[in-house]
């Protein structure tokens, strides 16, 4: 069945255009509510959102949808995506909903769904809900319409949970931390958790107005936090994205520490304590070859998946791994969370900083990334990667890099773009390989 609504991470798009309308949100509430009403108990859904303007509209529409098919609704207000996943499970809800477009600008919005176990829905569940979206929903009898209520202790529950991810004896006293919450969902909870653990907290990106989420702040716009780390002489900077499931770190020298370095640190720290499961770390094909080599030197493996945190999590669950993530900053630590959690990952980094006594610039740069280059080629139609001339150029490039680098070529899942990535020890060679393939694709289209 072709997907009309669900993409690689729920439903996402520009507000009031395409699939991202109030009418669609209400329909999704009805369809998901119908799908998850199993058993004879009173059914419940928890709904969280980030801080973008359209969240009010989408939240109200989803409440209407769920209650119209007889499901009760618990509203969390602005909360990180991992908090919604955690509360779905801890409150024994039938499903959870996060209304967010993650790191996208405020004009976009999205809907992420979690099952009762706190994990994102399987492909099968999403396809079943897709099928229901094309049908007329059976509404609840007037006597069975659902109720909606807002709980006031959601923030406290999540703060308690993330603090519990650290041993009782770990404190952050003496650390000066800049935290950038991207004017998003974690604007209150993450600074509070860090402060309660003893840190000196310098918060930025904590004044959401509905339109400034991810606007020149957060994990995808690091200039502001780098300036603040320099200005305040902080020990470290923590940058989250709009829904706080992604983490990028800035060291005390204002150098960027991406997800690959963070996975290297957390993975080797757990391995040293005998707590790493699966014998290594799970990451995507985009993670740097330097990470793979570093882990190999430590006797650990790097398992690679397709791009997307859901693919990482699927492999983690099937292989029994407890550390995984993406170079872009999604960190999945299944000992503590069922989805990417930027705050939990940040706390593991901070705990290592405290115990090591080293500056962040030394602790968090465990390997030298090999030169890596990614370029995009836009096309109007067709399947350029199936053209013989393109295939030949790609085969020649793979042979050229064999044993000394990697080549990853894939169509985008969200736009008509071919992504061409190469990496290797010779930066000039990497650039030449990428340019040759991009030119071949352009000629083919």
Measured in degrees and rounded to the nearest 5, phi and psi for residue 392 equal: -65, -45
Phi/psi at 56 (5° precision): -60, -45
Check the annotation: does 243 bind a ligand: yes
Supply the DSSP string of 107-167, one letter for each residue.
Answer: TEEEEEEE-TTSSBPPHHHHHHHHHHHTS---PPPGGG---EEE-S-HHHHHHHHHHTTS-
Cα 13-256-155 angle, rounded to 5 deg: 55
Give the Å distances, CA to CA, from 43 to 91, 93, 124.
11, 7, 21
180 in a known ligand binding site = no
Q: Is 309 flagged in the annotation as binding?
A: no
| Contact indicator for 302, 326 with CB cutoff of 8 Å | no
Q: Are 434 and 375 in contact (CB under 8 A)?
A: yes
Determine whether the annotation assigns residue 241 to a binding site. yes
- Is 68 designated active site? no
The Cα 1–Cα 130 span in angstroms is: 9
CA distance 188 to 4: 35
Catalytic residue among 54, 100, 102, 165: 102
Please tell me the distance from the alpha carbon of residue 274 to that of residue 316, in angstroms, as a whole number. 18
Rounded to the nearest 5°, which phi and psi values hold at 12?
Answer: -150, 145
d(CA 305, CA 286): 9
Cβ-Cβ contacts under 8 Å for 42 (sequence gap 6 or more): 72
- Residues making up the annotated binding site are 102, 241, 243, 245
- Residues making up the annotated binding site for Mg(2+) are 102, 241, 243, 245
Active-site positions read 102
């Amino acid at each position: 069945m072709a997907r009309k609504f669900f993409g690689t991470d729920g439903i996402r798009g520009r507000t009031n255009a395409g699939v991202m309308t109030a009418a669609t949100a209400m329909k999704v509430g009805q369809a998901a509510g119908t799908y998850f009403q199993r058993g004879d108990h009173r059914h419940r859904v928890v709904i969280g959102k980030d801080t973008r303007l359209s969240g009010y509209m989408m939240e109200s529409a989803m409440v209407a949808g769920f209650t119209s098919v007889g499901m009760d609704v618990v509203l969390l207000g602005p909360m990180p995506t991992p908090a919604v996943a955690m509360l779905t499970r801890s409150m024994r809800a039938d499903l959870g909903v996060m209304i967010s477009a993650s790191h996208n600008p405020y004009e976009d919005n999205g809907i992420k769904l979690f099952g009762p176990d706190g994990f994102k829905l399987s492909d099968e569940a999403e396809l079943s809900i897709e099928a229901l979206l094309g049908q007329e929903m059976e509404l609840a009898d007037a006597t069975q319409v659902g109720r909606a209520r807002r709980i006031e202790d959601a923030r406290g529950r999540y703060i308690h949970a993330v603090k519990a991810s650290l041993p009782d004896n770990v404190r952050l006293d003496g650390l000066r931390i800049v935290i950038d919450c991207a004017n998003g969902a974690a604007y209150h909870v993450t600074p509070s958790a860090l402060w309660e653990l003893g840190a000196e907290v310098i918060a930025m990106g904590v004044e959401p107005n509905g339109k400034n989420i991810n606007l020149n702040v957060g994990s995808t716009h690091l200039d502001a936090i780098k300036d603040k780390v320099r200005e305040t002489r902080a020990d470290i900077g923590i940058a989250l994205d709009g829904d706080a499931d992604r983490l990028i770190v800035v060291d005390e020298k204002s150098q960027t520490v991406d997800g690959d370095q963070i996975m290297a640190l957390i993975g080797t720290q757990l391995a040293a304590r005998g707590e790493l499961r699966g014998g290594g770390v799970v990451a995507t094909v985009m993670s740097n070859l330097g990470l793979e080599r570093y882990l190999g030197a430590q006797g650990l493996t790097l398992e690679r998946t397709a791009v997307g945190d859901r693919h990482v999590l699927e492999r983690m669950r099937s292989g029994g791994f407890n550390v995984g993530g993406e170079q872009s900053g999604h960190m999945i630590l299944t000992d503590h969370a069922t989805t990417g959690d930027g705050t939990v990952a940040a706390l593991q980094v901070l705990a290592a900083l405290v115990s090591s006594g080293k500056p962040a610039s030394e602790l968090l740069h465990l390997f030298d990334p090999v030169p890596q280059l990614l370029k995009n080629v836009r096309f109007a139609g067709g399947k350029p990667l199936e053209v013989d001339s393109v295939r030949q150029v790609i085969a020649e490039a793979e042979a050229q890099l064999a044993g000394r680098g990697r080549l990853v070529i894939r169509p985008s899942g969200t736009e008509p773009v071919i992504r061409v990535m190469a990496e290797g020890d010779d930066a000039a060679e990497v650039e030449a390989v990428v340019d040759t393939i991009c030119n071949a694709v352009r000629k083919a289209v």
